[in-house]
Structure 1
C-alpha cells in the first residue's frame, strides 16, 4: 500500500515537473512564481528521502526508492522531491539501451546532422566567447581561430563557461545564487573492464549497495572524503548486446560515486587502490573469480572529468539538483544579459541525465524560434 501511494505521488510530480515544465524556459522570475502553488501542493520543499520515508518503512526499501537523485548527481537527503518524478518516468517509458551503445547513438546523430548540412568540427576546443555590447559575436578556439556567429548555443558546463570562457567585463554571471554558495554534484570513478569468461547471472543493470547509506553520502557530498567503503552501479552491456565483447567474454563498467575535486584527493594514488577494492568486493559477492578473469581495465576519475570534459571541480553532473539550484535558480537556457547566448547542458534548466539534457535542447530550440520570430 505504501508503494502505491508513493507511485501516485511520483506520478503527480511527473505530470507537473516533467510533462508540463521540463521543456519550458524558466528565464523569467514570473515563470517561477506561477508555479509556486503547484510546488507547494506537491511538497517540493521536502527532500526525496523525506518523501519516500513517508510511504516506506523498511530501511532497505527506503534506500532502493530514494537513490534516483544519484542518477543526476544529487544527494537524496538534500535533493528536492521534484526529482522523485524519475521513478515514474522510468516506470512509464522504461529504460532503453541502444544496440551498439553510446557510440551508435553518436554516429546516428552525426549522420542526421550531416544530412541536414551541419558542419561538424572535431578536436576543436573553445577558449573564449567574445561578447560586445551584450551580444556574443564570435568564439575563439584554443588555436587562435575566430569563428563568427549570429547565435552561440553552448553545451559546455555553465560554471566553466562563465569562469573561464567569458570575460568579466561582459557583466554576466549566469545564475542568481552567488558562486560562493554554489553546490556541486559528486565526482565519479568509472572503471571499465572486460572478463575472459561470462557472468550470465549478472543483469544488464545492477545496483550494488554497501553497508552504509546516509553516512556514506555524507562523506561524499559534505565531508568530501574518500571512504574505504562504497556503493556501485554495475553495467553489463553484453547482457543485451553480445557485440560488446568477443565470444565467451563479457564487457562491464562500474560507476562509483566519489567526492569531486574539491575533496583534494590525489587520484594518481587513489585510482589504483579504489580499483583494487572494487574488484575485490565484486569478486567476493556477485562476480566470483573476477580477480583472475578481469582484463583490459582502465578508469576515469574526477580529474579526468575536469581535464577532458572541462567540468567544474570534476563534478559528474555539474551543479547539484537542490531546490535553490533548480528551475529559475539554475543556469538559464539563455543568458540574462547576453541575448544570443544559449545553454543546452546538464548545468542548465532542467538538469542532468539524458531526459534532462534533451529537454534542455527543446527549451533552447523554442527560445531560438521565439527570438527569431521577433526580429
Structure 2
C-alpha cells in the first residue's frame, strides 16, 4: 500500500537560514518568505544593511556607510509587492511596461507599493564629473544635454557619442534586458551567449571599447568611470559593463529620503511582515555540513548543508543555508575544507579581489555660500589610467587620487543638524594584499583629501568648518565586514570572473548551500544584488519543488 502524503496545509514549512542582512540577504529573505519558507536571517552587526549599514552619531549626523546610488526602481517595487504564496518568480523580468517606462524627473519615484514604505526621489544630474582642470560634465542621461556638453568640452567626439550610444544600447538590450537574470551554472549556458558577446564587441575591456568612440580623455573617463562604483577597473572589466550607461539612462538615479538606510529598514520591515525572523549580534562561525546520513562529509559521499553554528556555540538547524557574506570567507572560514572540491583554498585564494576603499564621513557648517556641487560628484585626479594601474595592479598609494563625493544634504537636510551638511567622500585604494599599514596610511590620506577639498575650492574653508570627522579603511572591510583581504565589492569583475566564471549562486560543493549578493552572479552594485536574490530564489524554488501556483 503506497504511503499517504500529508495535506499541504499540514506539511512542515522548510526552514532557511540566511547569513547576513545586507541588501542581498534581505531581498532574498523577502522572496523566500513569499515562496513559503520560514526564513531566519543571522547578522553579526547590531543592525541591518551590511555594507549598506547606516550610522547615526551623537552630534546629530546620519551617514550611509556604503551604497548611495539607487537605480532600477521597479526592482524595489517588485520586492515590496510580494506576498506569502505569491512569489512573482515566473514570467517576464522586464515586461514591456517596464522597458517603456519614462525616466521620472519630478515627483516621487517608484510604484504604489514602494510609496507605502519609502519616499524615493529622482536625482538630477546623476553625477557632476569634475576634471582636474576645473571643468565639469553634468551627466543626466538626457541625450540633447549630453550632446551640448560634449560640443563644449570635446566637439570632435560628437559623432563618436552617437555610435557609442547606439552600440551601448545593443549591449544593454542583450546583456541586461535579455540575459540579466540568467544564472550561468554550467558551461553550455555560457557558450550559447559567447557569439552574441563577440558580435557586440562586449568582451574587450571597457576602456578600450570606449576609446573606439572618443578621442578626448575627458569623454573616455565620463563613459567608463561607473564600473568603479561596483568594484571594477575600467581598464580590465569587459565592455558588457557599458550597459550601466543605459541602465542609468533608462530608469534614472534615485535617492531614498532619510538615506539608503531607510530603504534597508523598509526591506527589514517587509521581511518581518511576511513572517521572517532576524537575529542581530549573531555571527556565524561555521556552516554545518554532513552527508545524507548525518556523517562527516568526504570526497566520496554527498555533502549537504544542515544549518549553522554561531560564534556563541549555538547550533541552528536548517533545510538550506544561504550566505550573503563575502564569497571567499564563506568558503575559507565557514565550510570545512574536506567538503570543498571546486571552491578549494587554492581556487578561492587565487581569485582576484576587487579594490578596497578609504571612506571619510564628515560634517561641516553651512557658511551660507552655495556649494558648486551636486548630490553625487566624481572628482577625477590628474591621472586616470596610471592611477588605476597603481590601485589594481601595483597595489600602491599614488601621489594623487580620485574620489566620489556624496553630499546628500543638498537633497535631504534631515541628515545633519540645522545649518550643517553631512557628506562622505570615497577614495579607491588597494586591498590588504598591498601590505600597507592602514593605521599609519589612513590618517595621512584623510589629511591629504581634506587639503584637496579645501585648497582646490571644492568645499572652501572645509578644515575650519569641520564639525565631525571619522573614516574607514580596508581594515574595516576585513574586520567588521569580514571581507577577504578587505575587498569592498567581492571578486573583481574581470572577464575570467564574470558569468559562468563568477562564483555560482548554487554551491557546486555542498547541496542546499547557496550564495547571494555582490560576490555571486551577476555581480556588485545594488541593482545586481537584488537581481542576484531573484536568481538564487529561482534556484531554490527549482531544487525544493515549489509548485507553479506559488511561483507566479
Q: TM-score, normalised by structure 2?
A: 0.66
Residues 334-368 of structure 1: per-residue CA shift (max 9 Å, x gap):
00132211111211110000011111001011111
CA–CA separation in structure 2 for the residues paired with 1:324 and 1:307:
28
The verdict on how the C-alpha distance between 1:175 and 1:34 changes in structure 2, with shifts beyond 3 A counting, is: farther
CA–CA separation in structure 2 for the residues paired with 1:343 and 1:17:
22
Give the aligned CA root-mean-square deviation in angstroms.
Answer: 1.6
- Counterpart of 1:185 in structure 2 is 354
The verdict on how the C-alpha distance between 1:176 and 1:139 changes in structure 2, with shifts beyond 3 A counting, is: closer
Hey, which bits of structure 1, 4+ residues long, moved more than 2 A? Answer: 171-181, 198-201
- Counterpart of 2:442 in structure 1 is 271
Name which of 65, 77, 87 aligns with 2:235: 77
Aligned length: 375
| SS in structure 2 at match of 1:367 | helix
CA–CA separation in structure 1 for the residues paired with 2:546 and 2:341:
23
Please say if 1:137 is aligned against 2:306.
yes
**TM-fit CA distance, 1:44:** 2.3
Mapped contact 1:172–1:338 kept (Cα < 8 A): no
Name which of 176, 180, 191 aligns with 1:22: 180
Name which of 51, 75, 81 aligns with 2:209: 51
Q: Which runs of 5+ in 2 are unaligned?
A: 1-158, 292-302, 548-552
**TM-fit CA distance, 1:149:** 0.6
- Counterpart of 1:241 in structure 2 is 412
- Counterpart of 1:369 in structure 2 is 541
- Counterpart of 1:321 in structure 2 is 493
- Counterpart of 1:259 in structure 2 is 430
Q: Which runs of 5+ in 1 are unaligned?
A: none
Name which of 318, 325, 335 aligns with 2:507: 335
| SS in structure 2 at match of 1:70 | helix
Mapped contact 1:197–1:249 kept (Cα < 8 A): yes
Mapped contact 2:371–2:459 kept (Cα < 8 A): no
- Counterpart of 1:280 in structure 2 is 451
Mapped contact 1:175–1:332 kept (Cα < 8 A): no
The verdict on how the C-alpha distance between 1:170 and 1:261 changes in structure 2, with shifts beyond 3 A counting, is: same
Mapped contact 1:177–1:329 kept (Cα < 8 A): no
Matches within 5 A, 1:1-375: 1-133=159-291, 134-174=303-343, 178-197=347-366, 199-285=370-456, 286-373=458-545
Q: TM-score, normalised by structure 1?
A: 0.97
CA–CA separation in structure 2 for the residues paired with 1:132 and 1:238:
51
Pick the structure with more helix per residue.
1
Structure label with greater radius of gyration: 2
CA–CA separation in structure 1 for the residues paired with 2:351 and 2:161:
34
- Counterpart of 2:80 in structure 1 is none
**TM-fit CA distance, 1:374:** 7.5
Mapped contact 1:190–1:301 kept (Cα < 8 A): yes
